[in-house]
């Protein structure tokens, strides 16, 4: 399809992660990361360390005592967590704009993304299981394809909406039929072009349709139900709203109950409100 080719070609217009961020994430793969090197690499990207520390001190990530520098953060939260914070800070500017196609005001995609990341981990906590370490990042980036697809959806929205309403198909399937691509696939392609790990790319590609995954992937299951719980709270919703099904097979194999879903929603609201307060672009409530 011609439209699909044009959409895929737009992926390269999204600015890639800075070399400082990429190098920082590479260093943080080592739990015993050389702190001197890390600090030196990140100082090329002004404000990034300060923002990592602001996030590190929110109740969601917070350790028992205040984290004052990167070394503290790595010691108390672990290199993996700090790597997630680094990526969160780095993608914030890219997902803070408004998305006219999805009728999302400035910062709402960021709120939605944080909500999915946190909800996915909260589901694991409610179930008493360990969330795989890439769960947070995959949840955060699950909807990033919207930043590319939005401009195309803007023109074709009536057609997509008609399909959803008249044939009861999910929003992403309607996107696929009308535009030739959906936001999950485009997000996966974008992240692959950023060289993010395949395990993250896979969750983003399949999070709307986890049953199509050939093998069991706990992070994928968590992001799938996390995105549903986040949508139900309404945080950062676009016009696609709740027009996505929840997989019965996934809910069953996780053993998730109604009370657990509600508890996730309650905790989610509290955490997302505090997280978005500390991110510089989104100090004002919408």
Partner 1 sequence: MRINVGISEMRVTKQPGVILVTHSLGSCMGLAAYDPVFKVAGLIHCLLPKPSGSKKASANPAMCVSTGVPAMIREMYAMGAQRQNLILKAAGCSRMMNVLNQFNTGLRNQETLLALLEHNGLKLAASEMGGSVPRTMYLLVDAGRVLIRSKREEREL
Both structure tokens of 94: 């890219």
Instruction: Give the integer Cα–Cα distance in Å for 23 and 213.
Output: 31
Min separation Cβ 256 and partner 1, Å = 6
Using an 8 Å Cβ cutoff, are 48 and 90 in contact?
yes
Min separation Cβ 223 and partner 1, Å = 15
Min separation Cβ 266 and partner 1, Å = 5
66: left (phi over 0), alpha (psi -120 to 50) or beta: beta
Q: Is 266 a binder of partner 1 (CB under 8 A)?
A: yes
Q: Which of 32, 65, 212, 259 binds partner 1 (CB under 8 A)?
A: 259
226: closest CA among 208, 214, 199, 238?
Answer: 208
Both structure tokens of 230: 């986040």
Q: Which of 256, 275, 279, 282 binds partner 1 (CB under 8 A)?
A: 256
Q: Tell me phi and psi for residue 245, to 5 degrees.
A: -80, 160
Q: Is 223 a binder of partner 1 (CB under 8 A)?
A: no
Min separation Cβ 238 and partner 1, Å = 7
Min separation Cβ 255 and partner 1, Å = 10
Instruction: Give the integer Cα–Cα distance in Å for 152 and 194.
Output: 22
Give the residue with the Cβ less far from partner 1, 45 or 209. 209
Residues that bind partner 1 (CB under 8 A): 103, 157, 161, 168, 170, 228-229, 231-239, 241-246, 248, 251, 256-263, 265-267, 269-270, 285-286
């Amino acid at each position: 399809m011609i439209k699909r080719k044009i959409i895929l070609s737009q992926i390269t217009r999204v600015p890639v992660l800075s070399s400082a961020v990429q190098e920082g994430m590479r260093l943080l793969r080592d739990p015993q990361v050389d702190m001197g090197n890390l600090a030196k690499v990140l100082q090329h990207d002004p404000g990034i360390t300060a923002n990592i520390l602001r996030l590190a001190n929110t109740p969601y990530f917070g350790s028992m005592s205040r984290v004052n520098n990167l070394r503290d953060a790595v010691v108390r939260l672990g290199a993996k967590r700090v790597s997630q914070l680094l990526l969160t800070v780095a993608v914030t500017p890219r997902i803070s704009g408004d998305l006219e196609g999805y009728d999302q005001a400035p910062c709402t995609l960021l709120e939605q993304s944080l909500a999915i990341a946190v909800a996915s981990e909260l589901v694991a906590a409610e179930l008493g299981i360990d969330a795989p370490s890439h769960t947070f990042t995959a949840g955060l980036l699950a909807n990033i394809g919207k930043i590319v697809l939005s401009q195309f959806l803007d023109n074709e929205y009536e057609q997509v909406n008609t399909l959803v309403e008249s044939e009861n198909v999910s929003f992403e399937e309607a996107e696929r039929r009308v535009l030739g691509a959906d936001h999950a696939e485009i997000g996966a392609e974008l992240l692959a072009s950023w060289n993010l790990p395949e395990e993250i790319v896979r969750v983003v590609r399949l999070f709307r349709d986890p049953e199509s995954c050939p093998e069991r992937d706990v992070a994928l299951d968590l992001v799938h139900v996390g995105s549903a719980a986040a949508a139900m709270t309404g945080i950062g919703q676009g016009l696609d709203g709740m027009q996505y099904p929840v997989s019965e097979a996934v809910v069953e194999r996780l053993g998730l109950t109604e009370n657990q879903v509600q508890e996730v929603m309650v905790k989610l609201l509290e955490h997302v409100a505090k997280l978005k307060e500390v991110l510089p672009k989104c100090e004002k409530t919408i």
